[in-house]
């Protein structure tokens, strides 16, 4: 399987059909951080300072008291989010928001956009949860504020940072499938500077039992229905290193720098048919090596030229290396492919706070982004994509207007962007927050957005059955949402309606009897309802629940888009009891319910609905030591997110963790 085939083939598996579709953290204090394009402040638990009018869920992984959930599993419990995992821990996974495609979700980490021009998607398994302090899931269009990959929404990740004093942590754990993970961190912060170093290691053999599906992708009986097979050739190994530092220089300048390195090597078992119908006659030998380094350097000058004015020059850098090898693919010739990707993003932000019919925070940002991809092949049968590059220039103007008494917050945003071969792109947004009372607020947003095709969609080489399309037009979208939130110190209740019209939607479909390629389709119509709530009761109990109903279909046919369930639901119960400063016990349980998922555009083949139950227990002893035991898929049901990629059944994991902290001297 080609290194870029997996995300492409996920489309293919979801859209297989016999006939083609017709085209048609703080700048100067502990409470705020300016991270490139995203300004993060310590606000309400459900608000992104970068997008205060957007419907947002904020997740603190440390509060979930889990060590063996990855980023994909954590965000999958969020309202409006659906994930596609292709295997167990360490295997490729993506996500969608409000019926979008994975390419329509922008992922940022410490202000750096992780979506590349190469594939457009971000493999969430390549972002270790151990380095994350906070995750903001921003639902709905975000193009005007966050860039052209954000038609569906944004995942904004803020990594861990030092706190006042000194801290250290170390952990180790393991469990089913010969899985082991370990890591640790050290951090220190003084009045003028801070630093953090964090390391994590993960390894698993990954092989697990699964029950064979009843039909193939096209609905043909497999002949091995219900038989149990071993999902072999699933080994994964990865390491991650995060280094961060900041310091005050003089009275006005605050300097920040960070570097995150991630490396993995993993076997890839392919589709389940390769195991149930072809193996061992056709050996499973596909494997991938991948590493990524992202770095940022940023300076913020507050009050340099005038009061209430700040300047922020910054530079973001990203490099990715990927090598894929498969000597005996199920389809096509042997593959030996190496890809190098480089992106550099110098940017400049200026902000000014002023008064006029209320308070205003006006921000101007200018960006330049250079993307370059090169690839090479190790045999004459594999066709390279070739050297590709893209130059992107962007300017953005935003005003956050708080009317007197904060009755309203009005957020107009305009973005202009020009890119190689795709010039003159405009994103517009108007967001409104109405604070009716101390416990009731209303939100609404309307946005015009766009997405530029990635290199794989445009230039994937013609391999006989799969190719790119250099004539693709950009996707365009019109997003609208409206809703309200009731909130108190005991919990909250939120309800929202959303509407998203996508024009020129890019989808891989059969264009002939033998060839699949991306095309711009007719209009896609998506609308739905989101409901979520949280309640604290009996002093030690917390209940959380959310429900999403989504209708996502082609306007021309009315059929539900492949890969999009109509209903998603999650429930979480937590018991958290403390005895003094040294002893604590937490018990948690999660239930996730997903309705059946259409596999093809005709809606004739479906993935069955699923209900998954997870649970865990955390004991804290002698203040610093924690023991965590958690179980996944306790009902031992065969589950799928994507047809042909079975997920693990019941599994258990345990972790021991030590945390230490020293308060600063007063």
Query: What HEC string does 453-512 produce?
Result: CCHHHHHCCCCCCECCCCCCCCEEEEEEEEEEEEEECCEEEEEEEEEEEEECCEEEEECC
In a domain, 242, yes or no: no
**Residue 218 neighbours by CB distance under 10 Å:** 12
In a domain, 245, yes or no: no
Distant-in-sequence, close-in-space partners of 620: CB < 8 Å, separation ≥ 6:
582, 583, 584, 585, 586, 626
Phi and psi angles of residue 418, each rounded to the nearest 5 degrees, phi first: -130, 135
Q: Give residue 456's Cα distance to chain centre.
A: 20
Beta bridge partners of 476: 450, 503
Q: Do 432 and 401 contact (CB within 8 A), yes or no?
A: no
- By DSSP bridging, strand 335-355 and strand 541-554 are unpaired
Can you list the residues of the chain whose pLDDT is less than 70? 1-46, 49-50, 215-219, 222, 380-382, 463-464, 666
Residue pLDDT, tens place only, 84-123: 999 989 999 999 999 999 999 999 999 899 999 888 899 9
In a domain, 241, yes or no: no
pLDDT at 511: 81
CA atoms within a 13 Å half-sphere pointing along the CA-CB vector of 292: 21
DSSP SS3 for 99: coil
Q: Length of the chain in residues, anyone?
A: 666
In a domain, 236, yes or no: no
In a domain, 237, yes or no: no
Q: Which of 165, 112, 155, 132 is nearest to 62 (CA)?
A: 132
Show the beta-strand stretches assigned E in 356-407: 359-377, 388-402
* Cα–Cα dist 529/531, whole Å: 7
* Cα–Cα dist 266/203, whole Å: 10
Q: Which of 32, 40, 99, 655 is nearest to 302 (CA)?
A: 32
In a domain, 199, yes or no: yes
pLDDT at 66: 80
Q: Which of 260, 211, 210, 263 is nearest to 236 (CA)?
A: 263
Q: Which of 156, 285, 167, 8 is nearest to 664 (CA)?
A: 167
pLDDT at 479: 97
Q: Do 659 and 169 contact (CB within 8 A), yes or no?
A: yes
In a domain, 240, yes or no: no
DSSP SS3 for 7: helix
* Cα–Cα dist 397/401, whole Å: 13
* Cα–Cα dist 153/449, whole Å: 11
pLDDT at 303: 84
Q: What is the domain range of residue 586?
A: 5-223+251-291+305-327+334-662
* Cα–Cα dist 169/661, whole Å: 9
pTM: 0.90
Q: Do 449 and 425 contact (CB within 8 A), yes or no?
A: no
pLDDT at 35: 36
The total domain count for the chain is 1
pLDDT at 222: 67
> Any idea what the CATH number is for the domain that residue 511 is in?
2.40.170.20
In a domain, 229, yes or no: no
């Amino acid at each position: 399987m080609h290194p870029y085939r997996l995300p492409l083939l996920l489309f293919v598996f979801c859209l297989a059909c016999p006939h083609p579709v017709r085209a048609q953290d703080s700048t100067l204090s502990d409470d705020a951080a300016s991270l490139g394009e995203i300004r993060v402040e310590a606000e309400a638990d459900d608000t992104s300072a970068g997008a205060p009018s957007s419907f947002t869920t904020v997740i603190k992984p440390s509060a979930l008291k889990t060590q063996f959930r990855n980023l994909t599993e954590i965000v999958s419990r969020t309202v409006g989010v659906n994930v596609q995992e292709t295997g167990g821990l360490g295997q490729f996974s993506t996500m969608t928001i409000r019926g979008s495609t994975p390419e329509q979700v922008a992922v940022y980490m410490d202000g750096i956009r992780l979506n590349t021009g190469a594939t457009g998607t971000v493999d969430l398994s390549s972002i270790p949860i151990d380095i994350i302090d906070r995750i903001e899931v921003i639902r709905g269009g975000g193009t005007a504020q966050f860039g052209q990959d954000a038609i569906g929404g944004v995942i904004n990740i803020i990594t861990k940072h030092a706190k006042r004093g000194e801290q250290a942590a170390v952990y180790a754990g393991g469990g089913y499938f010969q899985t082991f993970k370990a890591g640790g961190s050290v951090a220190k912060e003084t009045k003028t500077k801070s630093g953090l170093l964090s390391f994590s290691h993960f390894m698993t053999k990954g092989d697990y039992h699964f029950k064979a599906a009843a039909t193939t992708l096209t609905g043909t009986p497999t002949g091995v229905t219900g038989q149990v097979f071993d999902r072999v050739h699933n080994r994964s190994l990865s390491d991650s290193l995060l280094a961060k530092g900041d310091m005050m220089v003089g009275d006005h300048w605050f300097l920040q720098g960070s570097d995150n390195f991630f490396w993995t090597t993993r076997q890839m078992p392919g589709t389940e048919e390769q195991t149930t119908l072809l193996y061992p006659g056709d050996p499973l030998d596909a494997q991938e090596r991948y590493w990524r380094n992202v770095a940022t350097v940023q300076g913020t000058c507050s009050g340099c030229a005038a009061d209430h004015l700040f300047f922020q020059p910054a530079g973001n850098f990203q490099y990715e290396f990927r090598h894929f090898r498969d000597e005996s693919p199920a389809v096509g010739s042997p593959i030996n492919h190496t890809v190098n990707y480089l992106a550099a993003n110098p940017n400049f932000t200026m902000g000014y706070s002023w008064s006029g019919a209320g308070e205003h925070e006006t921000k101007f940002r200018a960006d330049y982004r250079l993307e370059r991809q090169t690839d090479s092949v190790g045999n004459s049968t594999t066709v390279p994509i070739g050297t590709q590059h893209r130059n992107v220039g962007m300017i953005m103007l935003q005003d956050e207007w708080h009317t007197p008494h904060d009755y309203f917050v009005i957020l107009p945003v305009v973005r202009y962007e020009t890119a190689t071969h795709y010039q003159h792109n405009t994103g517009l947004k108007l967001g409104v927050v109405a604070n009716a009372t101390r416990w009731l607020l209303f939100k609404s947003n309307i946005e015009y957005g766009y997405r530029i095709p990635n290199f794989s969609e445009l230039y994937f080489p013609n391999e006989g059955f799969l190719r790119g399309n250099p004539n693709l037009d950009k996707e365009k979208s019109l997003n609208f949402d409206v809703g309200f939130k009731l909130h108190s110190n005991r919990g909250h209740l939120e309800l929202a309606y959303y509407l998203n019209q996508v024009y020129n939607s890019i989808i891989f479909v059969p264009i002939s009897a033998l060839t699949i390629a991306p095309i711009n389709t007719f209009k896609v119509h998506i609308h739905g309802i989101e409901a979520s709530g949280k309640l604290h009761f009996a002093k030690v109990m917390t209940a959380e629940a959310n429900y999403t109903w989504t209708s996502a279909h082609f306007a021309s046919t009315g059929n539900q888009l492949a890969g999009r369930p109509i209903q998603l639901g999650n429930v979480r119960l937590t018991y958290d009891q403390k005895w003094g400063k040294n002893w604590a016990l937490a018990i948690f349980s999660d239930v996730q319910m997903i309705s059946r998922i259409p596999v093809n555009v005709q809606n004739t083949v479906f993935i069955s609905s699923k209900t998954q139950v997870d649970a865990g227990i955390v004991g804290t002893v002698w203040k610093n030591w924690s023991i965590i035991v958690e179980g996944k898929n306790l009902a031992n049901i065969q589950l799928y997110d994507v047809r042909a990629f079975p997920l693990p059944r019941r599994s258990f994991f345990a972790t021991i963790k030590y945390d230490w902290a020293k308060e600063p001297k007063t």
